[in-house]
Structure 1
Amino acid sequence: MTKKELVQYVEDHRDELITLVSQLIQIKSENPIGTQRDVVDFVEAFLKDAGIEYKETGCNPDYPCVVAGYGTDMGFSLIINGHVDVVPAGDLSQWDFNPFSGEITDTQILGRGTSDMKAGVAGVLFALSLFAGKQVPLHGNIRLHIVSDEESGGQFGTQWLCANGYGEHADACLVAEPTSMNTIEIGQKGGLLLKIKSYGKSAHGSLGDFKGENAILKLSKVLSHVSLLSKIEGHFSERQIKPLMDSKLLAERENHIPGLGRVIDHVSTNVGLIQGGTRHNMVPDYCEATVDVRLPIGVNKEEIDETLKQILEISGVEGVEYELQYKSDANFTDHEAPIVLAFKENAEHLLGKEVIPAYQWASSDARDYRKLGIPTIQFGPSNTVGIHSYNETVQIEDVVTAAKIYVAAICDLMEIK
């Protein structure tokens, strides 16, 4: 089959693709409160029915990985990655529909995981089954990585696969995470957890203004200056200036928040947890806060450390210390890497509009492949409203278009005319 015929096949069989998304949504796979067994079994059954050999692997039987492939050892080697776990649905009364119904309307598919990221998983499964089912001769190979532990950090999923040789000799990687149809993600911020600890002296609460040292009040003086971290700016090469500027403009345009572009090239912080005190009538002698810190390209731990020392000095309190738990560096792929150009060209052809390679402020399993030096992109259908919240949906047309783009880009990378 030709490239044109393969793309047309997706259109002609769009109902099968949409049904596949719906079936995945109906399988509860909440992480960390649920089980991944049922959804992994479904993926394995799909691959078996498609005649694709697969292997279940991993280091934790509660969070298995599935690897599969099609093609030859000669030519371009492309990894396609997707996670089948979803964040918990939460308070069901906040949903306008059953989050696990997989209901299909005239324009949307409804439910937890539609955008993040079972629609993307369905798209790559459908694409792989198409190439394998039609025995399309590839100048290279497609390597499927399905994981079930992305939403809790990925230590049992992509992180484990990359640490155990499954990323070796790959030329590129597609992670089918949500991006919308306007952008191809080519870079992400790094991150660390900052824990600030305050020590005081306990006393009876009735003497709080006169006796003891209130650890909560001491910590509050430090937290009021934590935003100084957000003045730290990333360090970008001249070659990265264009995607950086495009990313900042895109962030502001899509979120309708003036100045939001700074989140791309500056450190961002979120004081997410505070714990302190024992009882209301005791002066607390200990308090701690956990701060989520995201790092733009080029910013290292030393810069954070230096600014934190300044914050403590400005705060003017004693008995406060901090520790840094480093998670990952910022990571990126060159905006003119072959996989970026292949997806950009085919997306723009099928959508009839500009599609921008851009950096983002969040993170995904893409970082693990980039750490191995593999040019990696993130691209998948989504409605951003509802991701990690209530009333998650995805547009049917975006699901179909994304699958067409997957097929068309793979054709170009595998030299299928």
Structure 2
Amino acid sequence: MNRRALLAGGAGVLLPAPTAPAGTPRTGLEKLADDGWAAVRGEKVGVVSNPTGVDRDYRHLVDRMHADGVTIGAVFGPEHGFRGSAQAGDSEGTSTDARTGLPVHDAYLATQAKWEQMFRATGVRTIVFDIQDVGARFYTYIYTLYDSMAAAAKLGLRYVVLDRPNPTGGQAYGPMMTDGHVSGVGRLKIVQQHGMTVGELARFYTGEFGLRTRLEVIRCEGWHGRMYGREAGLPWVLPSPNMPTPETALVYPGTGMFEGVAALSEGRGTTRPFELIGGPGFDYRWCDRVVALGLPGVRFREAYFTPTFNKFTNQLCAGIEVKVVDPRRYDPIRTAVAMLVEARKSPSFAWRVDSGTRYFIDLLTGSARLRTMIDAGAPYPEVAGAWAGELAAFDRRRKPYLLYSRPGS
């Protein structure tokens, strides 16, 4: 067997070289490493990453590059931090990485001007991005990508994206972001489930949003848009504390909307966030109504849970556990809309209102349309059909930037 010595934790440990089982996709990281880091050797590199930037042996990009003598000028950590020690809406701060001794800069909520300042101060010339995204517009890493790309473009830096599979596949779903509803959970005009890898998104950003980034995408091998969740056979490292499994990622672009409902917990503070949805004022009847709709690709279980933090801490919640049984037939946003429509029939239902008058659901969905239609009593097919035209238009716009085959192509 081909074996090599690896430096781990300060000691020489003999481990087998990681090999991909037949038919398993290879990530951009694995391709770059197998090529001896040729695309970045001789450069002063800035790495934008978090705990998901690992190979199939769970070794981190930064640790491998550092051990192999690639010059890393700085590491930039997004929300939750580079090593992943911070909860939602928090960061690790700026510090020195204990393992490598490298400077780590806090990039959470960094503006493009802040990115420029950090890039200038650290003297990096090539930026390497490696973060596992989960395919939803309200997941913040895609804005870390956008802002750091924009700053790199302004400074004339190379920008290298190490691509990874999208666990939600390659299908786009849901409504478009609109003017007046842009926020930290939806800053760009893309649909709610964009159905692209970060490499494809980076290409979309350059073409559709006018970035002049010197972009290079080291693409995956063996992945296509009809491959979902665990089917890629790659290691899963939770990209945020409430995204523990690929199954969470499958439901999140839809059930993430329950963050906009004051009366229901989206399962934070449980072992199944975004799969468990419920509240103190609900009972089995909500689940029964949703089951009766016969939604494709998904099953529902009457569920009871007690969150340990976030909404309804230490209170018993009744509701639904969402189980995807066929991701090829499952539409996460249409499913969640049906759940919302049936939940709205409960006297306990209430939307979450922020800053006095702003409905959080409007920020998540990109407009007031979904909320006002549900409040008016529209059935779920009508609500979910309202964005058909804008979704089709987005599908046409993204097509030139796609790197991998899609359903029907």
Normalising by structure 1, we get a TM-score of 0.28
Higher helix share: 1
* Higher-Rg member (1/2): 1
